[in-house]
Amino acid sequence: MTALSNATISNTTTTAFTSAQQHKALSYLVAFHLLVIASSNYLVQLPFTIFGYHTTWGAFTFPFIFLATDLTVRIFGAGMARKIIWRVMAPALIVSYVLSVLFFKGQYQGFAHLTEFNLFVARIAIASFMAYLLGQILDVSVFNRLRQMKQWWIAPTASTIIGNALDTTAFFSIAFYHSPDAFMAQNWTEIALVDYSFKLIISLGLFVPLYGVLLNYLINKLTTLKPQPFSDTVTVSK
């Protein structure tokens, strides 16, 4: 993190974006959130053991959400980040359930299974809905409060630690407490702790440094945009 100068990341400047640019960015970010949520809800059904501890493959994909959200808050502002959350919630619930039923525990089941209610998958989808809502709202609030600090890395680090803690707790308790899946019902607390640990290792070891690199790159790209007519621009805070 120290390799990136704090001076290269501005917390107080503003950039003007056209409404079309904001709409395009919003569409891409909503699609990205849906992709990560759907893939994570599928991968969380696939547990594995590492160093004697149980976890799931979903721990390796979901941290991308926090990276995308923090970059959105920094560049476009908290309003845009919250708008993404509201637009993603309902589609994510539907997409997560459908994909998880079709590919239950990693095996393609066929469309006929969509006619049968799957309690195990439904709990995962609902848990994901609540965890995403709570975790992302907290992440945006923490990041937005800390993003004006001189040290750029404090905001993404704090929001990642706190947001992931709430997200992981909400998801695993709702999805797997007294689950019809005996293995997950018995081991969900251990899996949640290991899952959270892996999320922190991945997020703090890779995504926070990557955040700094991506932020500098995006700011350089966005601030070199050609001037737009005043009537079609929206000024947002970084």
Averaged pLDDT for residues 88-106: 86
User: Is residue 70, in this structure, part of any structural domain at all?
Assistant: yes
What is d(CA 184, CA 68) in angstroms, rounded to the nearest whole number?
29
Beta strands (DSSP E) in the chain are 14-18, 47-50, 53-56, 233-237
What is d(CA 81, CA 78) in angstroms, rounded to the nearest whole number?
5
| Tally of domains within the chain | 1
pLDDT, position 222: 60
Q: What is the pLDDT of residues 176-194, one digit of tens each?
A: 999 888 888 998 998 899 8
- The larger pLDDT score, comparing residue 15 to residue 143, is at 143
pTM of the model: 0.76
- The larger pLDDT score, comparing residue 62 to residue 166, is at 166
Q: What is the pLDDT of residues 21-79, one digit of tens each?
A: 778 888 888 888 898 888 887 887 788 888 878 788 888 888 888 888 888 887 788 88
Tokens of 191: 């899996």
Residue type, 162: I
Mean pLDDT, the chain, rounded, equals 80
Residue 10 CA: distances (Å) to CA of 5, 7, 58, 72: 11, 7, 33, 14
Residue 212 pLDDT > 70, yes or no? yes
User: Is residue 1, in this structure, part of any structural domain at all?
Assistant: no
What is d(CA 222, CA 40) in angstroms, rounded to the nearest whole number?
30
Residue 29 belongs to domain spanning? 6-237
User: How many C-alpha atoms does 156 have within 13 Å on its Cβ side?
Assistant: 30
Averaged pLDDT for residues 14-22: 66
Which of these, 85, 139, 96, lies nearest to 121 by C-alpha position? 96
How many CB atoms lie under 10 A from the CB of residue 39?
Answer: 18
User: Is residue 226, in this structure, part of any structural domain at all?
Assistant: yes
User: Is residue 41, in this structure, part of any structural domain at all?
Assistant: yes
CATH code, domain carrying 76: 1.10.1760
